[in-house]
Chain A
């Protein structure tokens, strides 16, 4: 009797696993969204707790510190306003030149602030959960960034949460451009370092690549997912192999993916 029960349970497990793994990706995505929705109440509670904690910390800041920061911010604001005026003039000039050359100007972008509410439950993927979903206008493949640089792209949005495939994950390959040399490559995941989440690899650089450590890496805009010009990182090491048709490089990412808390989703 006991053996029959064991056999039955194993049969059940194998059938269920076989069925789930043989489903087409569109169906599994729907099922995943359904099961991920169970965590909405806990995610909302976590978000509320984070806001309360942040509010409590804010209350404990002394008035003098706030006034000093306010003074600093006013000075920075003044500088930035001057800079914005200068950039507005440059943008106008750029638009005029683009019109003369009959180039289509890039569409203006909107951003939405998102908070990280969870990470991937597996060790081998680099993804995180954010508190924005389809109800907030989030769609698959939208770029996610911070003021420091590129974070990744949206995968599997549910009604109120979404998964973000981070830069360096195998599901988030990024077409990049090295600013100083104008050479292009593809940012792929993975480094050999134990506890470093800030390095990744660039592949498919030209064989006679002129890139050097310290050079700036931005998105190239190729591939259509990430617009051109988002900062990604700086070259850390260039690895040229004699006889190879391509060069690879190690890159120090601008963002530390393990410590991300807030980020912006770039809306279409």
Chain B
């Protein structure tokens, strides 16, 4: 484990959660919440070890749910599962192709959101389930897909820098 890289990764998780919470652009224009943590965890899953994936999932989940009405750490398992899938199959996926990255990033976002929602409902919570939610999930998945194209390049730079 490289301590400086790990610290840089933690700082990026922190910033990703803050950007997701403070972003005024998508929220006021299209009424959608974006989640930059999912593109980050997919890139970490592909390029870094399992412990780094765990770290991103755990800290990301703790910070994200602390700024939300969600139960604490509700999205830990879905986030880690997304990172794990990318870690497990990164060799078989053609992650050099931007379109593949886009599709898998969007799929990861949609799956994490759906799994978190399922967990919420299973635990007896009552989130707002309406058609608008589907639109928000689709739009945020498209944004996550686009972010997944650029995040691996950024992570590569981070790995080289630290």
Interface residues of A (CB under 8 A from B): 5-6, 9-10, 12-14, 16-17, 20-21, 23, 28, 31-36, 38-39, 42, 46, 117-127, 129, 155, 163, 165, 168-171, 189-197, 258-259
Q: Is the CB of A122 within 8 A of B72?
A: no
| C-alpha gap A163/B120 in the complex (Å) | 19
Instruction: List residues 109-153 of chain B with CB under 8 A from any CB of chain A.
Output: 113, 116-117, 120, 123, 126-133, 135-137, 140
Judge whether B72 and A32 touch: CB under 8 Å: yes
CB distance from B97 to the nearest CB of A (A): 26
- Choose from B21, B57, B71, B128 the contact partner of A28 (Cβ within 8 Å): B71
Interface pair B67/A39, CB less than 8 Å apart: yes
Of A118, A169, A189, which one neighbours B67 at CB under 8 angstroms?
Answer: A118
Chain A min CB distance to B68 (Å): 5
**Which residues of chain A are within 8 angstroms of B14 by Cβ–Cβ distance?**
38
A21 to chain B, nearest CB (A): 6
Residues of B within 8 A of A (CB): 14, 17-18, 20-23, 27-28, 30-33, 35, 50-51, 53-54, 57-58, 62-74, 76-77, 80, 84, 113, 116-117, 120, 123, 126-133, 135-137, 140
Pairwise interchain contact A258-B31, C-beta atoms closer than 8 A: yes
Known: A38-B14, A119-B27. 4 other contacts (CB 8 A): A28-B71, A121-B67, A124-B117, A129-B21
Are B127 and A13 touching (Cβ within 8 A)? no
Query: Known: A23-B72, A36-B66, A195-B30. Contact between A122 and B116, CB under 8 A?
Result: yes
- Cβ–Cβ < 8 Å partners of B63 in chain A: 35, 38-39
Interchain CB contact under 8 A, A122 and B31? no
With a cutoff of 8 Å between Cβ atoms, the chain B residues found around residue A258 in the complex are 27-28, 31
A122-B68 contact given A13-B80, A20-B76, A258-B27, CB 8 Å threshold: yes
B72 x A31 contact (CB < 8 A): yes
Instruction: Kindly list chain B residues whose C-beta atoms are within 8 Å of the C-beta of A129.
Output: 21, 67
Q: Is the CB of A9 within 8 A of B71?
A: no
Q: Could you write out 15 A-B pairs with CB less than 8 Å apart?
A: A9-B53, A13-B76, A14-B77, A23-B72, A31-B72, A39-B18, A39-B21, A39-B63, A118-B22, A121-B65, A122-B70, A123-B136, A124-B127, A125-B127, A127-B69
